[in-house]
Each structure stands twice: as C-alpha cells, then as structure tokens.
Amino acid sequence: MSKKSFRQAINEALRQEMRRDPRVILMGEDVAGGAGAPGDDDAWGGVLGVTKGLVGEFGRERVLDTPLSESAYIGAAAGAAATGLRPVAELMFVDFMGVCFDQIFNQAAKFRYMFGGHAVTPLVIRMMYGAGFRAASQHSQCLYPIFTHIPGLKVVIPSSAYEAKGLLIQAIRDDDPVIFMENKVLYDQEEEVPDESYTIPFGEANLTREGSDVTIVGIGRMVQIANAAADALAKQGISCTVIDPRTTSPLDTGSILDSVEETGRLVIVDEASPRCNMATDISALVAQEAFGALRAPIRMVCPPHVPVPFAPNLEDLYVPDAARVEAAVRAVMQYAGKQGARA
C-alpha cells in the first residue's frame, strides 16, 4: 500500500495486466509517443502521461502508437479482440467518439448478440472525460450516458485512484467490451492504493458515506463533490448516504433502491448534460420502483443544457459543485408536500 495518483493507479493496472497476460496490448494516439520521430522514444506516454514507461517494458509490438485515425484503430481494436487479443485502446478524449462511434456501437457492442452468442470481444476503450480543464466544448464532455444506452457495452466510471486500479484490472479481465472513463481533473489526486493487483466487480455500488436522511448518488468525480457536501451537511445535522455506482452499465439498482427505501429522499449529482443522463435514468428507476418511499421530489444536480464553455468563470458556473448539492439536499429536507396534502 502506498500513496498513488489516479494516473499512477491506472498505469500500474495496465502494467500488471500486461505482465500477467501477453494478449493484452495498448493502442492509441501517442500512448508511447515519438514513434518515428528523431527525439525521445517514450516521448509522451499518453497525452497526459498515463501510459508513460509502458513501451520501455513491453516494446512497440504491444504498445502501439496509432495515426490520428480513430475509426481505423478503434475498429482494429474490436477486430483484434474478436480474434484473440485483449486490446486496451485509448480514445484520448471522449469527445472524439464522434469520429469512430460506428466501430464501438454497431460493431464491437453488437457482435455477441448478432452472432448468436458465439463472439467474445474482450476490448477496453479508455478515454478522458469531464470539465474543469479550461478545454472548452470539444474536450470536456461526459457522454457516458450515450455509451450506457447501448446494449452490449459496459461502462465504468471510477471516482478515485483506488477505484480506478481495481476497476481497470476488472475491465481488462472482462470478456465484454468495456468503456473506461477517466475524469482528467482527478489524474493528480492521490490516495492509498495497494501495490498488488486487485479487482473491483462491476455492478456493485460503493457507499462512501452512510446516513439516514438523504441518499445522494454521484457519478465519477461527482462522488467527491457529493462526499464534500455530505460532510458539510453532517455538521448541520443532516445525515446523507452517498452512493458511487462505479459502473453505469451494469447499474447496481438494488443499492440505490434499498437506500431510498430507508431515507425517502434522493439527490443525484451528474456532470453529464441534463437531458437523458444518468440522473434522469436513476430518477425514472426510483420513481417507478420506490415511489411509495419518496418523501420529497427527486432532485437532479446537473450542468445546464449548454455546451461546456471556455471562459473560466463560465466553466466554474457550469460544473456542479458541493454548494449546489448542499442546496439540493436542504431543499428535499425542507420539502413539506403540496400545500394541504401532507401534514
């Protein structure tokens, strides 16, 4: 056990799995960097240095720098997965899904069903997501709801370094196509992470805080925002459960429903655009399955329905923060029912 950053945790997961299984390969733009260039061989190790050092240990046959050609190499990763390798492809920013989405949702995701259960496609596609980097509209989106929508894909969104390592090892060992989403704001955050290899199963939520008044579900980095809000609210006498679903597909609906049955109040914090995101999905789930337990309307804390802005003051307004979560929790606590309808 030692302190490791989110970035180091991911690097260590990749290194340990590549040592364990020679079929695991990495591919993506600049995952090593410097291919064919006169300077350093491991020049970048990924655009933010996440895969640094891996080409030195595993060589360019297993750490493949690709051209800027996402359709070809994401598709190649799918084809390689269907024929015997276990590729980990890096898309860099989720925003680039637009130029290769067919290979993800029409090809890799559907092989198994279309081919009657005879295909196995152990593919991981890693990508960065999230605002807060002053990276503007085309490098800051969340977009995991789009992947979550597709049957055949699994979608993993780690909320911390410890979570990232265990979930990535699980993803690489998984036999289905997995979308692995890394919030770039988290890369330098450190926490205690075991040195040895470990897995965290998909579809099992983590309760990061346990309380009796309000259930807060957070997605990815928003788990940390939810924790901060819960800690502040605890000092004000409001006790919250915070749920990190870890994976949006599969989704641990049981843990969410059980918690809402206890608290009767639900706030969902989702950094994705507010229409058809995880917050609306979980709201629909709870409205349908736990309506009777609700003591207040569900509150969703999401960005506004606008692209991610560039100007720092606008971007800061855009991303949900702990203050907004606290306000939402106080609102559901203060809800007194329709006038006259409830005592």
226 within 8 A of 266, measured Cβ to Cβ: no
Q: Closer to another protein at the Cβ: 102 or 195? A: 102
DSSP-derived secondary structure for 184-239? GGGTT-EEEE-SS-----TT--EEEE--SSEEEEE-TTHHHHHHHHHHHHHHTT--
* 185 is a site residue for another protein (CB under 8 A): no
Using CB under 8 A, which of 43, 47, 119, 136 touches another protein? 119
Enclosing H/E stretch for 333: helix 322-334
Residues 235-254 interacting with another protein (rule: CB under 8 A): 250
- Look at residue 125 and give its three-state secondary structure: strand
- The two tokens of residue 198 are 């470990």
Residues 297-336 interacting with another protein (rule: CB under 8 A): none
Question: Residues in contact with another protein, total (CB under 8 A)?
Answer: 47
- The two tokens of residue 211 are 């309380």
Segment near another protein (CB under 8 A); pick from 150-158, 275-283, 292-300, 315-323: 150-158
Reply yes or no: is the peptide bond before residue 309 cis, omega within 30 of 0: no
Q: Which residues pair with 63 in a beta bridge?
A: 26
DSSP-derived secondary structure for 56-119? HHH-TTTEEE--S-HHHHHHHHHHHHHTT-EEEEEEEEGGGGGGTHIIIIIIITTHHHHTTT--
* 154 is a site residue for another protein (CB under 8 A): yes
CA 295/CA 292 separation, integer angstroms = 8
Q: How far is the CB of 80 from another protein (least distance, A)?
A: 4
95 within 8 A of 136, measured Cβ to Cβ: no
Segment near another protein (CB under 8 A); pick from 48-56, 68-76, 206-214, 231-239: 68-76
Q: How far is the CB of 25 from another protein (least distance, A)?
A: 6
* 63 is a site residue for another protein (CB under 8 A): no
Q: How far is the CB of 105 from another protein (least distance, A)?
A: 10
* 255 is a site residue for another protein (CB under 8 A): no
* 25 is a site residue for another protein (CB under 8 A): yes
Using CB under 8 A, which of 33, 46, 75, 218 touches another protein? 75
- Look at residue 154 and give its three-state secondary structure: strand
Enclosing H/E stretch for 168: helix 161-173
Q: Which of 118, 139, 149, 305 is catalytic?
A: 139
* 66 is a site residue for another protein (CB under 8 A): yes
CA 150/CA 330 separation, integer angstroms = 35
Around 157, how many Cα atoms within 13 Å sit in the side-chain half-sphere? 31
Segment near another protein (CB under 8 A); pick from 13-21, 64-72, 165-173, 273-281: 64-72
Residues 203-222 interacting with another protein (rule: CB under 8 A): 203
CA 66/CA 72 separation, integer angstroms = 9
Q: How far is the CB of 205 from another protein (least distance, A)?
A: 15
* 149 is a site residue for another protein (CB under 8 A): no
Using CB under 8 A, which of 3, 37, 41, 151 touches another protein? 151
> 338: exposed, middle or buried (C-beta count within 10 Å: 0-12, 13-18, 19+)?
exposed
Active site residue 139: yes
Using CB under 8 A, which of 8, 103, 160, 259 touches another protein? 103
Using CB under 8 A, which of 4, 62, 209, 221 touches another protein? 62
Using CB under 8 A, which of 6, 44, 58, 73 touches another protein? 73
Q: Which residues are catalytic?
A: 139
Q: Write out the residues near another protein by the rule CB under 8 A.
A: 23, 25, 61-62, 64, 66-67, 69, 71-85, 87, 102-103, 106-107, 110-120, 151-152, 154, 174-176, 203, 250
